Amino acid sequence: MTRTILGFILVALGLAALAFLPTQLGAYGVGLLLGMTGYVVLASAWALFSGPTRYVSLATVAFFGIGAYTVAVLSEALPYWAVLLVAAGIGLCVALVVGLATLRLAGVYFVIFTFGLAELIRQLVTWYEVNVTGTLGRYIFLPITAEQIYWQLLGLAAITIAIGWFISRSRLGLALKVIGDDETVAAHTGINIAGVKLALFAVSATIITLVGAIQAPRWTYVEPSIVFNPTISFLTLIMALLGGANRLWGPALGAIPLFLLFEWLSANFPNHYSIILGLLFIAIVFVVPRGVLAGAEDFWKRLRSNGEAA
């Protein structure tokens, strides 16, 4: 019990320090911090669903883009908080449709459905803009500074990780562990498998939508091909995998180094970064399939058991 309280105090102190950080950094530093926090939330939210269920969702950018584009469309018609609510609502609805159609079936169907989802929504939005509204591309003029975006993202990161922590301690978390180990056993112990998966997917997708919505004012100009960029899905996935999708802090741990690496690569090798990242991704799948954290734990255990044997 004291350990939990101590942990809470440490996390709260860390959060306060992070919230204070922008005052010490220049505009570039804040931008970097903002992008990093965005990916920490994306990777953590992705892992919320895909970690325990092992259903690989490739639709991160579909939800991210929905959020960003909703802000672009509605930012002048509604107050900011209402826009965020609407964006979250749309993200939730799409997640429910996708989930209801596929999560009752085998995992492959879900992967396939999410694989093309971003492209589908991008084409639909483009089609709608060209044929109905007659414009492609929108401007966002919102009086929101980079610091404010950063604080919102930081808050969302805290909420996401808190949700992950609560789930791991609740009945839902227990149900998830059983599903992850053996679905047949889970079904026989009376767990509503499809329901649990659907709920989790909806939560994860809503958070991802919110990240897109919150980050949208950073762009000023928004176009379907900008906000539905598949690289975002890819980066989220690789970050969560590197850190370990099954650990609470894993995705955040993977997001920070990879985001910095990505920034460096896109500045120095703008044409080759997707090749480098692709190779890195394959390497991660081969070398640390369960993430660095789990890998380190295994290594530590082996080291200790070796020590005892000797």
Partner 1 sequence: MITTLITGLVLGGTYALVAMGLTLQYGISRIMNLAYGEILIFAAFAAFLLFSTLGINPILGLAIVLPLAFAFGYLIYGVMMQPLVARSKKSGTLEVDSILATFGLLFVIQGVMLVVFGSNYTSYNFLNTGINVLGTNIAANRLLAFALAVIIGATLFYVLTRTRWGTTIRAIAVNPDAAPLVGIDVNRTARFAFALGTMLAASGGVMISMYQTFNASMGVVFTMKALVIVIMGGLGNLMGALVAGLLLGIVETLVATHVDPGLTLAATYLLFLGVLLWKPSGLFGKAAGR
Q: Which of 25, 27, 124, 185 is close enough to bind partner 1 by CB under 8 A?
A: 124
Q: Which of 25, 76, 123, 302 is close enough to bind partner 1 by CB under 8 A?
A: 123
Q: Are 69 and 232 in contact (CB under 8 A)?
A: no
Shortest separation between residue 222's beta carbon and partner 1, angstroms: 19
Residues touching partner 1: how many (CB under 8 A)?
A: 43
Shortest separation between residue 242's beta carbon and partner 1, angstroms: 12
Q: Does 58 bind partner 1 (CB under 8 A)?
A: yes
For partner 1, what does the binding mask look like between residues 38 and 57, x meaning CB under 8 A? ----------------x-x-
* Dihedral sign for Cα atoms in the order 89, 95, 98, 102: negative
CB of 140 or CB of 197, closer to partner 1: 197
Please state the separation of Cα 58 from the chain's center in Å.
11
Shortest separation between residue 47's beta carbon and partner 1, angstroms: 14
Per-residue tokens: 252: 């955040």
Using DSSP, state whether 91 is helix, strand or coil: helix
Near partner 1 in 207-266, by CB under 8 A? 230, 234, 237-238, 241
Q: Which residue has the tokens 């584009």?
A: 69
Neighbours of 146 (CB within 10 A): 16
Q: Which of 190, 286, 306, 309 is close enough to bind partner 1 by CB under 8 A?
A: 286
Q: Which of 101, 136, 174, 296 is close enough to bind partner 1 by CB under 8 A?
A: 101
User: Helices (DSSP H) in the chain: which residue ranges?
Assistant: 2-20, 27-53, 60-74, 80-102, 107-128, 146-169, 171-181, 183-188, 193-215, 224-227, 230-243, 250-268, 273-287, 292-309
For partner 1, what does the binding mask look like between residues 102 and 121, x meaning CB under 8 A? x--xxxxx-xxx-xx--xx-
Shortest separation between residue 296's beta carbon and partner 1, angstroms: 19
As a whole number of angstroms, the distance between CA 175 and CA 187 comes to 10
* Alpha-carbon separation of residue 310 from 212, 296, 305, 307 (angstroms): 54, 21, 9, 5
* Dihedral sign for Cα atoms in the order 55, 113, 198, 126: positive
Candidates 9-17, 72-80, 101-109, 291-299; binding stretch for partner 1 (CB under 8 A): 101-109
Count Cα atoms within 13 angstroms, Cβ side, for 277.
25
DSSP code of residue 248: S
Shortest separation between residue 232's beta carbon and partner 1, angstroms: 12
Q: Which of 272, 301, 302, 304 is close enough to bind partner 1 by CB under 8 A?
A: 272
221 DSSP β-pair partners: 139
CB of 205 or CB of 237, closer to partner 1: 237
DSSP code of residue 221: E
Shortest separation between residue 121's beta carbon and partner 1, angstroms: 10
Positions in the binding site for partner 1 (CB under 8 A): 54, 56, 58, 101-102, 105-109, 111-113, 115-116, 119-120, 123-124, 126-127, 130-131, 230, 234, 237-238, 241, 271-282, 285-286, 289
